Amino acid sequence: MNKIIIYDTTLRDGAQTEGVSFSVDDKLRIARRLDQLGVDYIEGGWPGANLKDIEFFERIKHIKLTHARLTAFGSTRHRAQTAKSDPNLQSLLLADVPVITLFGKSWDLHAEQVLGVTLPENLELIYDSLSYLVSKVDEVIYDAEHFFDGYKANPEYALQTLKTAESAGVKCLVLCDTNGGTLPDEVGHIINQVKAELSTPLGIHTHNDAGLAVASSLTAIKYGARHIHGTINGYGERCGNANLCVLIPNIKLKLRQDCISDEQLTQLTELSWFVSELANLRHQSHQPYVGESAFAHKGGVHVSAVQKVAHSYEHIRPELVGNKRKVLISDQSGQGAIVYKAREYGLDLTKNTPEVQQLLAEVKQRELDGFQFEGAEGSFELMVKKAKGLHKKLFELIGFRVIVERREHDREAWAEATIKIRTPQGVEQTAADGDGPVDALNCALRKALEKFYPAIKEVKLIDYKVRIINEHEGTGARTRVLLESGDEESSWNTVGVSANIIEASWQALVDSIEYKLLKEEMQQEPE
Amino acid sequence: MNKIIIYDTTLRDGAQTEGVSFSVDDKLRIARRLDQLGVDYIEGGWPGANLKDIEFFERIKHIKLTHARLTAFGSTRHRAQTAKSDPNLQSLLLADVPVITLFGKSWDLHAEQVLGVTLPENLELIYDSLSYLVSKVDEVIYDAEHFFDGYKANPEYALQTLKTAESAGVKCLVLCDTNGGTLPDEVGHIINQVKAELSTPLGIHTHNDAGLAVASSLTAIKYGARHIHGTINGYGERCGNANLCVLIPNIKLKLRQDCISDEQLTQLTELSWFVSELANLRHQSHQPYVGESAFAHKGGVHVSAVQKVAHSYEHIRPELVGNKRKVLISDQSGQGAIVYKAREYGLDLTKNTPEVQQLLAEVKQRELDGFQFEGAEGSFELMVKKAKGLHKKLFELIGFRVIVERREHDREAWAEATIKIRTPQGVEQTAADGDGPVDALNCALRKALEKFYPAIKEVKLIDYKVRIINEHEGTGARTRVLLESGDEESSWNTVGVSANIIEASWQALVDSIEYKLLKEEMQQEPE
């Protein structure tokens, strides 16, 4: 009865994010996952504005969605067209979906100065377009663009646009804070005023330009809105849309209102990662609920307190959203943290055993040298596996040399690396160019190893971070390199430290490659 | 009268961000900029927990803050100590600041299970510690840790802790949502209940674990809180703290309440970038108000609509926060900024002159290439001086070569650089070892030049920072190097960008040396 309806627009409004360009395949994969998550509506795209979206609607017909209803998005007819002749409305019908979401102008300024129509004409556009679509498809949803700004400028007119849409027979009136600048209190106040005049269910669609998209959506729910629009990871143009990865847990765990199921909620973190992968954007580590740091704890006392009384430092149990507690391995951590971490890798260690004591001593020594395992768990996992005797040396370095050179008339310096390694299968010597010295070394190492270990071809370097750890020594300071690598299944982080950036990069590169090879081996030999 | 007090904890709570480690120099530079922004309090650190913070408080004594009050942060005394014998409280006094912020436990669960004291004992810890400090320093602020969770669990006790702090004579009671899980409505409701019982001004300190830190702070203001705690860019552990870059504009532009001045507000975007540079974290492009995408507009119609009626698609004017509209390769304004900057270096430039137009074009081109002059003003100043014809070429590179090599039994790689330069006084060719390739190159360059320009001997490299600017390309990504150099009188920052880290470092090194030599020359020939 009191269920909150989740309306996802990741594939339409979310795709407006600067730098994001989903392929049709990406969109199909995301749609399937959104359906599994249990969202009620998936806004697939704007077929009138985007050829890719026409293909999407064509291809998604072959995919069976178990719960979600698919919607196509578009605008009211052009003033020079009738509803029937309008190409934009026709393309919506051609999308052949059960639900159409149409947006129209609520703000007098926009009707007159952007659209260039009179206020009564704008009402006609809304009525004609909606009533035509209502006669053609199962369900029509009306997005009242700029509703809150419009209401503040001319409340009578803004309300009239909603009444017009209502009289055309739409199933839901969605109030949009298109520019994202409305405060939650204003949202609540305005909804409170308009809802008395309307009988159609209300929805809310917010943007995050004042950092308040989630808060405004929650306020709208409090005042009676039932359709909640948002995107995975809060993607969207400018500062993004209301973030469903934050809104959904807030609705379920804080407001204690029904939407997706408890079981579906546990998929949220994985879905958040999945969408960021396909968007080719780095996952926001500090994102509430689903971020990698969202449940991260530093320090020994803190960690043992969390283990004793989890809610002393955690506002929810991370498992509820499919996330997990992250114990940061640092010099403040004790044996407990190491045992806890090892368990995450499926390795059993016991406190107060020599192997744990030795690992802890090693962590502390390496952290003194400038290592940081926080953010380099791949290297830490490798250390644990070495301590457990699970690690075989797969190659040895005989030598490398990296040369960077620049002559008078060069625009930039160039780099070349040579390398010689020994594997159980033989010695390999090779060389490669690179964009810089580290890239050259990376290329040469992989070239040398791929022959023996073809799995290395799957490894991509995702991120490369360099930090100077005792800055006061200028260019002679120690350098810490953090490397993020990944294959099709997962990603891992490794670390290297040296006064020499090439040496530090080399250590992190070797850890990354060893991590991958060990992972492959353990998958081939099931325990 | 109704002024909102801004309390910044970037240097303490913000420094808890995963992966962030500010040097003492970083902290001093940030403190100076926060003061210019007009924040009322700068929480400098926790001297009882952190050796670096002791150094910070020592060194900041030599810096004159124009407006902000500096505070040191710490916890109530240990139960086995008296206030006078407690080392943590003593280290706060040794920090020698006018304001101390002390936190204590509000939540019965934490007092009993984490601290291991009885509820009355906890009240004693609070009273003793605060009344002792009140007798020693100008102003004591009380942070009621986990206040909202504590109040929900045991309202009488939580309120009693506040009353205890009040009776000890503190100037402000700050209600903390330490775990970040409280909804704005709950925050409002609870503040409303407690404020009737207290006469001390209230503050609010929120974390963003439910994506609501900013919203909760605004609600707290509505219910009477006057001290607002937060961090630049929302830095902080887990999901971060309330973001001052969002809160301050919301307070000024949306609530229309007084805090920093209009002019100071225009520094906000620049400060946000500056702090992210020093944190060595990538600036969040979708961040409300100060993000690069916050006022980005796609598409022709949209762009022309914005140019016609700016507020049709913008909730505020971006200039108000020092940000700008981003329109594909826009060339609005810019000249003003360059003239403004140049004036800072004592150089007069005039808008619409060819020299300014050319500088602007050069800045834009270099920014497209990945340069960033925020935090590298030395390189920018050099560009301006070159444009003014104040720069003579003092040396030319004939060539350099850097070799990094590692053989089987070496513990680490070694590095050597050779260099050949031409100066008006002759050609010099030399070589040097270094801790790494950049250090070797630096040593070789200086060795070659010192013969002709002995002033170079005074230059120390203070800091060296490396950032990857398009991370998704792994080790082949573009690298930005920021170098801080100094002599006995001053320090300057220079920048270089290239896919090759050696090339980028070379650019920054050359700028640094040229900056020094030009500075020497201008001092010798007074204008």
* Cα–Cα distance measured from residue A321 to residue B304, given in angstroms and rounded to the nearest whole number: 43
Q: DSSP E strands: which ranges in A46-165?
A: 69-75, 99-105, 139-145
Residues B389, B395, B399, B401, CA torsion sign = negative
CA distance A64 to chain B (A): 34
Largest CA distance in chain B: 83
Q: Which of B237, B201, B243, B236 is nearest to B218 (CA)?
A: B243
Return the number of CB contacts < 8 Å for A and B: 364
Whether pLDDT at B410 is above 80: yes
Q: Where are the alpha helices (DSSP H) in A309-458?
A: 335-344, 354-368, 377-387, 437-450
φ and ψ at residue B70, rounded to 5 degrees? -90, 135
pLDDT computed for residue A330 by the predictor: 55
Q: Is this prediction's ipTM beyond 0.85? A: no
Q: Please provide residue A255's backbone torsions phi and psi, each rounded to the nearest 5 degrees.
A: -75, -20
pLDDT at B301: 46
Sheet with B396-407, strands from edge to edge, namely: A426-434, A414-423, A396-407, B396-407, B414-423, B426-434
Which of B233, B297, B433, B501 is best to mutate for the A interface (most A CBs within 10 A)? B501
Q: Give yes or no for B238 touching A (CB within 8 A).
A: yes
Chain B, residues 343-372, CB within 8 A of chain A, namely none
How many residues make up chain B in this entry? 527
Query: Rounded to an integer, what distance in angstroms lies between the CA atom of residue A325 and that of residue A316?
Result: 11
Chain A residues near residue B315 by CB distance under 8 angstroms = 179-182, 209-210
DSSP-assigned letters across all residues of B103-151: EEE--HHIIIIII---HHHHHHHHHHHHHHHHTTSSEEEEEEETHHHHH
Q: What's the average model confidence in pLDDT over B393-408?
A: 91
Question: What's this model's pTM, rounded to 2 decimal places?
Answer: 0.75
AA letter at A253: L
Residue B243 half-sphere exposure, CB side, CA atoms within 13 Å?
30
Instruction: Determine the Cα–Cα distance for residues B524 and B512; give it in Å rounded to an integer.
Output: 19
Q: Do B413 and A328 touch (CB under 8 A)?
A: no
Dist. CA A194–CA A73, nearest whole Å: 24
Contacts of residue A189 in chain B, CB cutoff 8 Å? none
- Check residues B453 and A16 and name the one with the higher pLDDT: B453
The rounded distance, in Å, linking the Cα atoms of B27 and B70 is: 12
Are B434 and A476 spatial neighbours (Cβ–Cβ below 8 Å)? yes
Per-residue tokens: A342: 């090892």
Q: Do B475 and A436 touch (CB under 8 A)?
A: yes
**In whole numbers, what is the pLDDT of chain B averaged over residues?**
88
Under a CB-based contact definition with an 8 Å cutoff, are residues B123 and B155 in contact?
Answer: no
Integer CA distances (angstroms), B274 to B42, B132, B264, B270, in order? 16, 38, 15, 6
Alpha-carbon distance of B63 to B38, in angstroms, equals 16
Q: What is the pLDDT of residue B238?
A: 93
A507: which chain B residues are within 8 Å (Cβ-Cβ)? none
pLDDT band at B333 (very low <50, low <70, confident <90, very high): very low
Structure tokens at A299: 């320090």
**Residue B377, helix vs strand vs coil:** helix
Least confident stretch, A186-195, B488-497, B508-517: B488-497
Bridge partners of B100? Answer: B72, B140
CA distance B75 to chain A (A): 15
Contacts of A385 (CB under 8 A, 6+ apart): A345, A347, A391, A518
What is the spatial distance between Cα A475 and Cα B434, in angstroms, rounded to a whole number? 9
Asked if residue A376 lies in contact with residue A482, where contact means CB atoms within 8 angstroms, the answer is yes
CA pair distance A426, A443, nearest whole angstrom:
19
Task: State the Cα–Cα distance between residues A22 and A9, nearest whole angstrom.
Answer: 13
Q: Residue B412: which of A386, A475, A507 has the closest Cα? A: A507
The residue ranges of DSSP E strands in B164-247, in sequence order, are 172-177, 202-206, 227-230
Structure confidence at residue B161 as a pLDDT band (50, 70, 90): very high
State how far the Cα of B28 lies from the Cα of B63, in Å rounded to an integer.
Answer: 8
Residue B282 is predicted with a pLDDT of: 75
Cβ contacts of B411 on chain A, cutoff 8 Å:
none
Task: Inform me whether the C-beta atom of residue A161 falls under 8 Å from chain B C-beta atoms.
Answer: no
Interface list for B 15-34 with A (CB within 8 A): 16-19, 21, 23, 25
Query: CA B315 to CA B299: how far, in whole Å?
Result: 18
Asked if residue A457 lies in contact with residue A449, where contact means CB atoms within 8 angstroms, the answer is no
The two three-digit tokens of residue A194, written as one number? 């308009």
Mean pLDDT, chain A, whole residue set:
89
Given a contact cutoff of 8 angstroms between Cβ atoms, the answer to whether A401 and B404 are in contact is yes
Which chain B residue is nearest to residue A235, measuring alpha carbons? Answer: B286
Task: State whether B404 and A401 contact (CB < 8 Å).
Answer: yes
What's the order of all strands across the beta sheet hosting A491-498?
Answer: A460-468, A479-486, A491-498
In tens, the pLDDT along A313-327 reads 899 999 999 998 877
- Average pLDDT estimate for B427-453: 92
Q: Are the Cβ atoms of A415 and B500 closer than 8 angstroms?
A: yes
Residue A296: strand pairing partners = A326
Residue B393, pLDDT score: 81
Where residue B169 falls (left for φ over 0; alpha for ψ -120 to 50; beta otherwise) is left
Length reported for chain A: 527
pLDDT of residue B526 exceeding 80: no
Indicate the angle between helix axes B51-60 and B24-37, nearest 10 degrees.
50
What's the pLDDT tens digit per position in B77-118?
999 999 999 999 999 999 999 999 999 999 999 999 888 999
pLDDT digits (tens, 9 = 90+) for A224-243: 999 999 999 999 999 999 99
Check A212 against B214: CB less than 8 A apart. yes
Instruction: Summarize the confidence of residues A409-414 as an average pLDDT.
Output: 86
Amino acid at A348: D
Structure token pair of residue B255: 């609530």
Nearest beta carbon to residue B184 from set A209, A215, A474: A215
Residue of B nearest to A295 (CA): B238
User: What is the model's pLDDT at position B332?
Assistant: 36
Q: Which CATH code, of 3.40.1030.10, 3.40.50.620, 3.20.20.70, 3.80.30.20, is assigned to B5-260?
A: 3.20.20.70
Instruction: Count CB-CB contacts under 10 A for residue B478.
Output: 20
DSSP 3-state of B471: helix
Q: Which helix (H) or strand (E) holds A299?
A: none
Surface-to-core class of residue B197, CB atoms within 10 Å of its CB (0-12 exposed, 13-18 middle, 19+ buried): exposed
For chain B, report the end-to-end CA distance as a whole number of angstroms. 48
CATH topology of domain B396-524: Double Stranded RNA Binding Domain (3.30.160)
Q: Provide the pLDDT for residue A431.
A: 95
Identify the pLDDT of residue B11.
Answer: 96
Nearest CA in chain A to B291: A239
Q: What is the pLDDT of residue A412?
A: 83
Answer whether residue A131 shows pLDDT above 90. Answer: yes
Residues of A in contact with B506 (CB under 8 A): 406, 413
Q: Which token pair is B505?
A: 């470092």
- Read off the pLDDT band of A299 (50, 70, 90): low
Name which of B212, B312, B438 is nearest A109 (Cβ-Cβ). B312
Coil vs helix vs strand at A271: helix
- Are B159 and B120 in contact by the 8 Å Cβ rule? The answer is no
Asked if residues B44 and B78 have their Cβ atoms less than 8 Å apart, the reply is no
Q: pLDDT tens digit string along B264-323?
A: 999 999 999 999 888 878 788 899 999 988 988 754 345 556 656 777 789 999 999 999
The tokens describing A155, both together, are 């409340």
Q: Which of these, A396, A453, A471, A400, lies nearest to A427 by C-alpha position?
A: A396
pLDDT tens column, A164-195: 999 999 999 999 999 999 999 999 999 999 99
Q: Are A373 and A379 in contact (CB under 8 A)?
A: yes
For A386, the token pair is 């070495």
| Residue ranges of domains in chain A | 5-260, 296-387, 396-524
Q: Is A460 on the interface with B (CB under 8 A)?
A: yes
**Strand duo A139-145 + A99-105: pairing:** parallel
pLDDT band at residue A155, thresholds of 50, 70 and 90? very high
* Residue A88: Cβ within 10 Å count: 18
For residue B5, count other CB atoms closer than 10 A to its CB: 16
pLDDT at residue B496 greater than cutoff 80: yes
Tokens of B283: 């600036």
DSSP structural state of residue A76:
P
